[in-house]
Amino acid sequence: MKSKMNVLMFFGVTLLWTAQVMAQDKAPDTGGADEASTEPAGGLEDASATGDAADVTADLNDISTGDAADVTADLNDTMPEEEPAQATAKLGIAAAAKAGATFHTLFNELSPMFLVEVEAGVLLMERHLELDVALAWARPKSTVSKNDPRLVDGSYDWEIKQDFLSLGLMIRYRIMDRSSRFNGYGALGPRLLMLHTNASGESSGGAAFGTNEQFETRFGGYGALGGEFNIGPGAILLEVGMTFGDLNGYITGDTSSAALDTYLGYRFMFDL
């Protein structure tokens, strides 16, 4: 009887154990689910963290960009506007009319006489440099009275009139800038001297000696110093110069054509 009870108890325990094992095999794997569930949670956290970082970076970029734009705008507002550079003309034209007196008496027997000159040229280097063609005219004369024992009347009077026409090239350089009210300059250049001499005389008794003429061409030069006062489309000028050259004609003999020249005039200057 006891042996039968033991056998029944053994089978009962075996059935219970088998039922528990089968129940465990059929139950869902919660550990895997937990691991699976935890993994998506971690991904969401990473995603949210990444999104937050991107938002923060975007905000910082917006702030920094806005601040930089504001600073740039402020600097542009505070900085003075640059005035456009004014174009300055480097080339121009000039024309002058001058009148004055020429003094030959320092170098020969010709008397002081009225003198006129006209010039035309180009302006370079902001009017510092000027290249001109100049044409000048003067008509000095000389009157001579001498005793001559060969004449019945014992003396004679001789008058010489000379037309000086000079054509030359001139280089003029101004010291100051064109904006200066006052300016000074120096000028130098060669000249072609064309001379017409007319000589006539008579004895003290009235006997005419007749009239003699001679044309002569010589090379010479001219140098001058001057000053200008800028007014209107040009400048008032005052100039002192010297013409130099020599003559060797039948009437004049071997002499000098040099003279001290003084001018007052006006020079027109225009930009191109």
Residue pLDDT, tens place only, 231-272:
999 999 999 999 988 877 666 667 788 899 999 999 999 999
Task: Judge if 64 and 155 occupy the same domain.
Answer: no
Q: Find out whether 271 and 91 touch, Cβ atoms under 8 Å.
A: yes
Task: Judge if 110 and 230 occupy the same domain.
Answer: yes
Identify the domain containing residue 211 by its residue range.
92-271
**Rounded CA separation 9/117 (Å):** 156
**Rounded CA separation 266/29 (Å):** 117
Angle, CA of 100, 106 and 109, to the nearest 5°: 95
Task: Judge if 60 and 184 occupy the same domain.
Answer: no
Q: 78, 113, 134: which is the final residue of a domain?
A: 78
Task: Judge if 160 and 192 occupy the same domain.
Answer: yes
Q: 78, 109, 124: which is the final residue of a domain?
A: 78
Q: Find out whether 261 and 241 touch, Cβ atoms under 8 Å.
A: yes
Residue 139 forms part of a structural domain: yes
What's 194's domain CATH number?
2.40.160.20
**Rounded CA separation 157/201 (Å):** 5
Nearest C-alpha neighbor of 138 from the set 102, 98, 189: 102
Q: Find out whether 224 and 183 touch, Cβ atoms under 8 Å.
A: no
How many structural domains are present in the chain? 2
Residue 253 forms part of a structural domain: yes
Beta-carbon neighbour count of residue 134 at 10 Å? 21
Task: Judge if 36 and 106 occupy the same domain.
Answer: no
Task: Judge if 99 and 73 occupy the same domain.
Answer: no
Task: Judge if 258 and 134 occupy the same domain.
Answer: yes
pLDDT tens for 172-207 read 999 999 889 999 999 999 999 999 988 888 777 777
Task: Judge if 142 and 251 occupy the same domain.
Answer: yes
The pLDDT of residue 228: 97
Residue 250 forms part of a structural domain: yes
**Rounded CA separation 142/161 (Å):** 7
Q: Find out whether 196 and 207 touch, Cβ atoms under 8 Å.
A: no
Task: Judge if 131 and 190 occupy the same domain.
Answer: yes
**Rounded CA separation 3/131 (Å):** 151
The pLDDT of residue 105: 82
In this prediction, the residues of the chain whose per-residue pLDDT falls under 50 are 30-49, 56, 60, 63-64, 68, 71, 75, 85, 87
Q: 78, 109, 139: which is the final residue of a domain?
A: 78
Residue 258 forms part of a structural domain: yes
The pLDDT of residue 226: 98
User: Which tokens hold the place of 146?
Assistant: 């001498």
